[in-house]
Amino acid sequence: MVLEGLGVDGDHPHLCDTPQRTAEAWRDELCAGLNENPFSLEVFPTEEGAETGLVALNRIPVKSICAHHLLPFHGEATVGYVPNGHLCGLSKLSRVVDHFARRPQLQEQLTSEIAQFLAGELGAHGVGVVIRASHYCMEFRGVNHPGTMTTNTLLGLLNDDPILRGEFMGLADAAP
């Protein structure tokens, strides 16, 4: 329908299979998060008496589709939490970001969904998520300017404790 709306010859050899390829790309890749079964994190108890400080993973790739314009946005996330008796595997933090990003999404909503999910699954003392992303809906249409949008959601101690908040935001701002 998009090709028809553009007035493009859908019978052209390079375009005749485009509708099927496009549908598969959207279903299997761009919006794969819509088709995934909800999952829960595998958590591990911390050792008795062990004090565990902030756990954070930087530079998690974020790739999503703007829900308003169906154009890509991409960037990086920093995800962290202050454990409350449980830890999760580090790669799971990256998987959570992918799960919520791979669907039509708003960056502000994405940031909050990741934080809320982790807070619920981990029962952590605090959770923080920072996402920095460039949006094609701004760069290739409308104002046609590049820019990076930054969003954050801080819950529990990462919101309430200025020292932990500063530590997390410092990690999120850290150069590679």
What average pLDDT score do residues 74-84 get?
A: 96
| Average confidence score pLDDT of the chain | 92
CATH number of 41-173, picked from 3.30.1130.10, 3.10.690.10, 3.40.50.720, 1.10.3720.10: 3.30.1130.10
Q: Where are the domains of the chain?
A: 1-30, 41-173
CB-neighbour burial class of residue 90 (10 A; exposed 0-12, middle 13-18, buried 19+): exposed
pLDDT in tens, 129-138: 999 999 998 8
Give percent above pLDDT 70 in the chain.
Answer: 99
pLDDT in tens, 39-71: 778 899 888 777 779 999 999 999 999 999 999
Q: How far apart are the first and last CA of the chain?
A: 43
Helix (H) or strand (E) holding 73: strand 72-82
Query: Model-level pTM?
Result: 0.91
Q: Is the pLDDT of residue 174 over 70?
A: yes
pLDDT of residue 48: 78
